[in-house]
C-alpha cells in the first residue's frame, strides 16, 4: 500500500530545516515558517512531506483548528521542488480535508487550476487567488545606512502600536485577531519605524512569520519625505546583520512598486514567487457550490465574470482573506515615489 504522506519527527524537521537553508533565498518562504514552528513561535502545526528523505513536497498544516492561533486557522503552508509532483500530492487522500475551509500559501502558479478543479469536485469553491512576486536583497553589500530627516527619529514599533497598525490595514485585511497578530510580530520579529520628536508614529515596516518584510506604511502627510526608502534600507540592514534573508512579496500587478524596489537594489527571485489560494467547502447538507463571490461593489460576481472585468487575468482577489498575503507595500501607501501616487490607498483606514 502506498503511503499518502509522511509526518516528520522533530529530528527529521531539523534535517529538513538545514536542507532548506542551503536553498535560500528561493526557499525563504517555507524555511522561515519551519524555523518559527521549530522555535515554538508558530505553534499547533505539523510538518508533512510526500516522502522521506527524498521529498519533493512540504506542507505545514494545523494539527486541529483549535491548536493554532486564530489568525492562522485553516492555513496550509506549502513548498515544492516539482509542480508536477505537488499537483498529485495535494489531491492525495487525507493530505487536505476538503470538507473544511483551507487557505493555501506557497502555491506555484501552475497548481492554482488544480486546486480550483479539486475544490469544484468537492462541491466547494475557490473564492480568492492572489499572486505575488518575491523580491530579495541579493547583493554582497548591504544598503546605505538610513538617517531620519530632521525632526524625526528612526526607532522600532511597540506593542501598543498594534491597534493603530490594524486601523491602517483593516480595510485591506479584516482577519479575526488582527490586533493580536500585529502584537505578536512586533514582539517576536524585527521592525523599523519613524516617529516625530513628539513620539507620533508616521511610518513603519514589520515582518511576517514567513520571514518576509511587510506592511510598509507611510502616513500620507509625509509621502514626500522618502521615508519608505529609509525604512526598507534600515530593516534590510538589520536582517542582513543577523545573516537572514531580506525579502518581501509584491503584487504582480503593482509594476510601479516593483520598479521602485528594483531601483533600491532588490532583485526578483523567480523560484520564490507564489500564490495564495482560498478554498471554501460546500454548505453542510448541500451538494451545490457556494454562492458567488461578492465583488467590491457589492454585486454577486462569478470567477469567470471577474476574470472578464480584470481583462482576462486569472487573478481573483477578495478582501479579508489572507493575512500572510499582506504585501511588502505598494506605491499608494509607501510614499515612494510620490509623483506616481494617485488618490487614497485602500490600506488607509478612514474610521
Q: Which long-range contacts (CB under 8 A, 24 or more apart) does 117-124 make?
A: 118/90, 118/91, 119/279, 119/280, 120/289, 122/98, 122/281, 122/282, 123/281, 123/282, 123/286, 123/287, 123/288, 123/289, 124/98, 124/279, 124/280, 124/281, 124/282, 124/289, 124/290
Distance separating alpha carbons of residues 48 and 225, to the nearest angstrom: 47
- Give buried/exposed letters for 188-199 (b at 16+ CB in 10 A, else e): ebbbbbbbeeee
The residue among 236, 200, 206, 227 whose CA lies nearest residue 323 is 206
Tell me if 139 is assigned to some domain. Answer: no
Tell me if 145 is assigned to some domain. Answer: no
Q: Do both 331 and 239 map to the same domain? A: yes
Q: Do both 244 and 294 map to the same domain? A: no
Q: Do both 261 and 290 map to the same domain? A: no
Tell me if 60 is assigned to some domain. Answer: yes
Q: Do both 26 and 169 map to the same domain? A: no
Q: Do both 330 and 196 map to the same domain? A: yes
- H/E run at residue 85: helix 83-89
Q: Residue 175 maps to which CATH number?
A: 3.40.630.30
Q: Do both 300 and 259 map to the same domain? A: no
Tell me if 321 is assigned to some domain. Answer: no
Q: What range does the domain containing 263 cover?
A: 152-270+326-340
Domain count, the chain: 2
Question: How much is the pLDDT for 175?
Answer: 58
Question: How much is the pLDDT for 350?
Answer: 27
Q: Do both 11 and 56 map to the same domain? A: yes
**CA atoms within 13 Å, Cβ hemisphere of 309:** 14
Q: Do both 116 and 182 map to the same domain? A: no
pLDDT in tens, 299-342: 223 333 333 334 334 454 433 334 455 566 554 565 554 444 44
Residue numbers of the chain with a pLDDT score lower than 50: 1, 291-314, 316-323, 331, 337-351
pLDDT in tens, 268-297: 999 999 999 999 998 766 555 554 433 322
Does residue 293 contact residue 301 with C-beta atoms inside 8 Å?
yes
Question: How much is the pLDDT for 254?
Answer: 87
Q: How many residues does the chain have?
A: 351
Q: Do both 39 and 170 map to the same domain? A: no
Tell me if 238 is assigned to some domain. Answer: yes
Q: Do both 284 and 191 map to the same domain? A: no
Question: How much is the pLDDT for 349?
Answer: 31
Q: How many whole angstroms from its chain centre is CA 294?
A: 22
Tell me if 345 is assigned to some domain. Answer: no
Question: How much is the pLDDT for 321?
Answer: 35
Q: Do both 30 and 128 map to the same domain? A: yes
Tell me if 317 is assigned to some domain. Answer: no
Q: Do both 157 and 247 map to the same domain? A: yes
Question: How much is the pLDDT for 334?
Answer: 57
Amino acid at each position: 500500500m502506498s503511503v499518502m504522506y509522511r509526518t516528520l519527527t522533530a529530528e527529521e524537521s531539523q534535517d529538513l530545516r538545514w536542507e532548506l537553508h542551503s536553498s535560500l533565498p528561493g526557499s525563504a518562504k517555507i524555511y522561515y515558517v519551519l524555523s518559527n514552528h521549530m522555535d515554538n513561535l508558530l505553534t499547533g502545526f505539523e510538518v508533512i512531506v510526500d516522502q522521506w528523505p527524498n521529498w519533493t513536497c512540504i506542507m505545514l498544516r494545523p494539527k486541529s483548528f483549535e491548536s493554532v492561533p486564530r489568525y492562522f486557522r485553516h492555513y496550509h503552508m506549502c513548498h515544492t521542488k516539482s509542480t508536477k509532483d505537488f499537483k498529485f500530492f495535494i489531491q492525495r487522500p487525507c493530505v487536505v480535508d476538503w470538507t473544511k475551509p483551507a487557505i493555501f500559501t506557497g502555491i506555484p502558479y501552475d497548481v492554482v487550476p488544480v486546486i480550483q478543479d479539486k475544490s469544484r469536485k468537492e462541491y466547494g469553491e475557490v473564492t480568492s487567488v492572489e499572486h505575488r512576486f518575491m523580491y530579495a536583497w541579493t547583493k554582497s553589500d548591504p544598503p546605505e545606512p538610513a538617517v531620519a530627516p530632521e525632526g524625526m527619529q528612526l526607532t522600532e514599533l511597540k506593542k501598543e502600536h498594534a491597534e493603530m497598525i490594524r486601523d491602517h490595514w483593516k480595510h485591506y485585511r479584516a482577519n479575526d485577531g488582527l490586533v493580536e497578530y500585529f502584537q505578536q510580530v512586533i514582539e517576536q520579529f524585527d521592525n523599523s519605524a519613524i516617529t516625530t520628536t513628539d513620539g507620533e508614529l508616521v511610518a513603519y515596516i514589520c515582518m511576517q512569520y514567513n520571514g518576509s518584510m511587510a506592511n510598509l506604511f507611510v502616513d500620507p502627510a509625509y509621502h514626500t519625505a522618502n521615508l519608505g526608502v529609509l525604512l526598507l534600507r534600515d530593516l534590510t540592514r538589520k536582517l542582513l546583520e543577523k545573516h537572514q534573508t531580506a525579502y518581501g512579496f509584491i503584487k504582480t500587478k503593482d509594476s510601479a512598486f516593483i520598479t521602485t524596489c528594483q531601483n533600491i537594489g532588490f532583485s526578483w527571485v523567480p523560484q520564490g514567487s507564489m500564490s495564495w489560494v482560498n478554498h471554501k467547502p460546500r454548505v453542510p447538507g448541500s451538494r451545490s457550490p457556494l454562492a458567488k463571490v461578492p465583488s467590491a461593489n457589492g454585486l454577486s460576481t462569478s470567477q469567470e465574470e471577474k476574470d472578464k472585468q480584470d481583462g482576462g487575468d486569472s487573478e481573483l482577489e477578495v478582501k479579508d482573506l489572507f493575512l500572510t498575503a499582506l504585501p511588502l507595500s505598494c506605491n499608494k501607501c509607501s510614499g515612494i515615489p510620490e509623483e506616481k501616487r494617485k488618490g487614497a490607498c485602500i490600506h488607509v483606514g478612514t474610521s
